[in-house]
Amino acid sequence: MSIMIFEEKKYEEQEYEGIVNLLLQSENIEEELQYARRYTLRSNPKMFFFLFRAVTTLKEAAKHTNEAIQVSELQNLDDTLNELELKLSENTNIIPAELPDSILYDKNLSSNYLADHSTIIYKQDDWRSFQNYIEEKAQSIPKGLELPFLVWCEKMLKLNFERHMKVCKNPTSCPQNQGYDRRIQYISRLIGDITPPQLAPIFQVAVDSPPKLSDKIQWLGTQKELAELFIRLRAKGWIADFEPDTIKECFTKSDSIQQILKPGEYTEDLGGTFEQVFTPEYVSKFHGVMPNPKRN
């Protein structure tokens, strides 16, 4: 094995700029980072954060003077630093941000609630635990960091969702996919709730101004039929996960849609038993919905 840049030792934060300069000269950055994950990360749990921070520092230095950084055989330092930053992102599921260590180094967030989670879509206890954890974290930091924290959570979920989709073998009914959709929608709604009015989209409906009945889509079937339609559209890959409250805001005949859309026990075909929809006397109307070919 060739001599690697990283060693099996504890590094100080001030050493990381030197490491980044060495990485820029490496012939195989990917191999270096994989070695670091295997042998160096255990003694340096903040390694990737410090590497990201060092790259940012070097970028800022390069903007002010060409003499601030001496790296041989680099024609475009900024592009090279961007490439290294991309490699760092590929080797960790953490997105750097100006947030407290209690957020950035929380493994419950980075490795569980904001990453692959196999039961959060259909186990109510897991879903409530996720919601409670996010709310408790938001309340534990200064008020001015609440919005950056939620934006960071959304970015983390989208990053890990994208990575999961690259290896997912059953995207149309994968519980992890549905769990990502549900969590992203929830975080997005929290962001909308606390976004200052002047920063909100110009056509955003105010939270305290629900649509009037006359503004809603007039559903001509029953409430159970409306629920079945959305269950099957999601199961067949035509829509992402959704919140029942959204249906209630947009459709008539949906006053108790939250209650009848409780998924029950998980099933592979629909994502749940939905016992309050598929009762013995109910005749299915949308069982013929075909799978979305673009999700295969």
Does residue 208 surpass a pLDDT of 80?
no
Does residue 213 surpass a pLDDT of 80?
no
Looking at per-residue pLDDT, the higher value among 169 and 149 belongs to 149
Instruction: Identify the pLDDT of residue 56.
Output: 83
- The range of the structural domain enclosing residue 223 comes to 213-295
Instruction: Identify the pLDDT of residue 198.
Output: 57
Q: Report if residue 280 sits inside a domain.
A: yes
Q: Report if residue 96 sits inside a domain.
A: no
- Average pLDDT estimate for 168-191: 87
Q: Which of 56, 90, 124 is the last residue of a domain?
A: 90
8 Å CB contact between 88 and 41: no
151 with 130, same domain: the answer is yes
86 with 108, same domain: the answer is no
Q: Report if residue 207 sits inside a domain.
A: no
Classify residue 183 by its DSSP letter.
H
Q: Report if residue 6 sits inside a domain.
A: no
269 with 234, same domain: the answer is yes
* Structural domains in the chain (count): 3
Q: Of the candidates 234, 225, 276, which has an alpha carbon nearest to the alpha carbon of residue 254?
A: 225
| Own/partner pairs, 193-197, CB within 8 angstroms, 24+ separation | 194/146, 194/147, 194/150, 195/147
What's phi and psi for 251, nearest 5 deg? -120, 150
189 with 123, same domain: the answer is yes
Percentage of residues in the chain with pLDDT exceeding 90? 14
Instruction: Identify the pLDDT of residue 72.
Output: 44
- Average pLDDT estimate for 228-243: 88
Percentage of residues in the chain with pLDDT exceeding 70? 87
- Whether the full predicted model's pTM is greater than 0.75, yes or no, is no
Coil, strand or helix at 57? helix
8 Å CB contact between 124 and 78: no
126 with 194, same domain: the answer is yes
Q: Please, what is the angle between helix 175-194 and helix 124-140, to 10°?
A: 30
Q: Which of 71, 90, 109 is the last residue of a domain?
A: 90
Q: Which of 90, 115, 137 is the last residue of a domain?
A: 90
